[in-house]
Amino acid sequence: MEPAEQVASRDEDLIRRIGTGDDGAFRELFSRYASVAHALAFRLVRQAQLAEEIVQEAFLAVWRHTERYDRSRGSVRSWLMGTVHHRAVDAVRREQAQRRRSEDAILLQAGAAEDPIDDVLAAIDLPAERRAVREALADLPDEQRDVIERMYFGGESQSRIAELTGLPLGTVKSRTLLAMRRLRDRLGATGP
């Protein structure tokens, strides 16, 4: 066997043993990939403590769900790094959303002293818009509607939806894209 094949075989054996509760195998996998996983997470989130948390969460997911490893989709290393990458991207998105909410709250407080007539005028057509959105959602195929509802009403990321439903991430992404196109066509493009 070539060294890469030996490493892959050893990693798969570690995953099998971890699945039986072998904490020695878990420690070996951790010592083998923790530094690389941390470097990847840090490159994405740019915060050492957050990167450490992401690595811990990823390895905890490995410990709890070794059955999610699929040899046909790649090596143990690539599966583990993919897990770290997805968690890091989710963390960045959460941070960006929190920053936007904070900025919106500051703007809302600053605008509280302004004339409320603008809010009233903006809300006049809200019931009609809501009805149109509900109708457009109802017209989507069930599998597309489910993904959109989980994302926009349930607050789930695409990777989390794939995890919850057992669908490949690519399927979740394509259903999202198709649904958004249908909604845009149905509701009409907004903007200039």
pLDDT at 1: 52
pLDDT, tens digit, 9 for 90 and up, residues 33-78: 999 999 999 999 999 999 999 999 999 999 999 999 999 999 999 9
Residue 164 identity (one-letter amino acid)? L
**Residues of the chain falling short of pLDDT 70:** 1-2, 110-126, 189-192
pLDDT at 62: 95
Report d(CA 68, CA 39) in Å as an integer: 23
Name the DSSP letter for residue 71. G
Find all residues with CB under 8 Å of 119, minimum gap 6, and list them.
none
Residue 104 identity (one-letter amino acid)? D
Mark 125-162 as b/e (b = at least 16 C-beta within 10 Å).
eeeeeeeeeeebbeebeeebbbbbebbeeeebbbbbbb
Task: Tell me how crowded residue 38 is: count the other CB atoms within 10 A of its CB.
Answer: 17
Report d(CA 158, CA 171) in Å as an integer: 10
Q: Which contacts qualify for 14-19: CB closer than 8 Å, 24 or more apart?
A: 14/76, 15/62, 15/66, 15/69, 15/76, 16/66, 18/62, 18/63, 18/66, 19/66, 19/67
Report d(CA 55, CA 21) in Å as an integer: 20
Domains of the chain: 1-114 (1.10.1740.10), 117-192 (1.10.10.10)
* pTM listed for this prediction: 0.54
